[in-house]
Amino acid sequence: MEKEKALPLPALVATAVGVVVVQSTMITMLNGAGIGRFNFLVAIGVSALLALTYVLSFAELALMLPRSGSVSAYTQAALGPGLAIVATLSGYVAVALLGIPAELILVDTLLAQVAPGLVAALPYPSLVLLLLFCLLNLRGIDLFARIQSALVAIMFGGLFIIGIAGLTGGGAAANAAPAAFDASLALSLVALAFWGLVGLEFVCPMIADARDPSRNLPRAMLVGLVLIVAVYCVFCLAGIAMLPADKLTAATPHVDLALSIFGPAAKTAFAVLAILGSATLLNTVLASVSRMIQGMAQSGQLPAWLGRENARGAPAWALVAFAAAIAAVRTPLGMDASAILTLTVAAAGCWLVAYIIVHLDHIVLRLRLPQRARPFRSPFFPLPQALGILGMGYVFLNIAPAPELAEPIYRNVAIMLGATLAYSLAWTLLVRRRNPFRPDLAGALSENDSR
């Protein structure tokens, strides 16, 4: 019997934006506003156009090949299982294993400021948060939908309130002369702004549980993109109005902004809001990436036991293994996130590589399967995909936040891509005994058509 479709449009939108309404992204966006001031808003606009290209490619592919494996399914059909494994493991699993521990460190650091007794009694309370959302996701998609919609509504409401209050508060920095438009400065900040607009495709692995996916999946990503651009433009404008540049480029500008608007009494309330943002990230990534892992296992790209579901339809083994891996990375890092800065940015570089691969998937499958039913078609093909590939390449080449970090970042990108490529070759050649670069178009179509 077909599973009941439990995710309406609001829950899908909440899933699409769940990885960006978080502390680390707030900090990144305010840092960009401190560096470029109003030029950073131009960078956000350029980044939004770049994000639109990957939204269009994912929307078409997800509805043409509606598999929970998402990137792995599209790439196996277009470019072969070898690149499918590389795209998913390096672009999503590695990103999560490096990015989420950094977010958890921010949670523990914030709790140490507002509840030092809790941190003294329990050194890493963020691991309790991780365990909680792992258990909640094991309860199935219905509970996920309710929690995700509530968390995202609170986060967007909180960020808009902070932004509007800051714009109407008349802070000391508001009278500073606005920076003159500088095209080169704005373009140099596109890479930084783009990190606030990634991850909308996290809704694609939820397609099997979506109501009316042909209409709601593209809408969820497009609405999510508009909401993200709007909330962060208002948030950055508030930062420019209320804080000087040195505060905006500090380690915790989001906390400084809230305190400058509402005073010291708001510290605890903002800490709760920030931790809810981290909870939104956890809920989204645990649900989506575990389903990517499940899809890879069902396609023979990972051990089969990772594809099993529990009685509630949750990818139980993939979910537990993924959460345990996050905890294993988080625990030895202590309270210092600086140790994984270059790894986190390098993981983001691998994310860009995954986006480029998806654009290539889209082009290949549009040319090879011109008659395949497509409930959504990317307009102006192949212009968005070509612009997306060029734009992602530009962002990748300008990924280092400081020149001295470029060498370790690109070295770590090479290590992660090399490791996942080595695994993919070993798995496909020695275990599966298949050509890793031969597209499995027939297999992908038969699996999707049988669902």
pLDDT given at position 66: 79
pLDDT given at position 386: 97
Q: Is residue 228 part of a domain?
A: yes
**Dist. CA 221–CA 95, nearest whole Å:** 20
Q: For residue range 318-362, what is the model confidence (pLDDT) as tens digits?
A: 999 999 999 998 888 776 655 556 666 777 788 889 999 999 999
Q: How far is CA 168 from CA 117, 121, 242, 300, 363, in A?
A: 36, 41, 10, 56, 47
Q: Is residue 153 part of a domain?
A: yes
Q: Is residue 290 part of a domain?
A: no
Q: Is residue 376 part of a domain?
A: yes
Q: Is residue 127 part of a domain?
A: no
**Dist. CA 377–CA 374, nearest whole Å:** 6
Q: Is residue 3 part of a domain?
A: no
Q: For residue range 171-214, what is the model confidence (pLDDT) as tens digits?
A: 544 445 556 788 888 888 888 888 889 889 989 988 888 889 99
Q: Is residue 307 part of a domain?
A: no
Q: For residue range 361-414, what is the model confidence (pLDDT) as tens digits?
A: 999 999 998 888 899 999 999 999 999 999 999 889 888 767 887 888 888 888
Half-sphere exposure of 68 (CA within 13 A, CB side): 25
Is the Cβ–Cβ distance between 85 and 424 less than 8 Å? yes
Q: Is residue 90 part of a domain?
A: yes
Q: What is the CATH number of the domain that holds 407?
A: 1.20.1740.10
* pTM of the full structure: 0.87
Is the Cβ–Cβ distance between 206 and 295 less than 8 Å? no
Count of structural domains, the chain: 1
Domain range for 351: 9-99+149-268+334-449
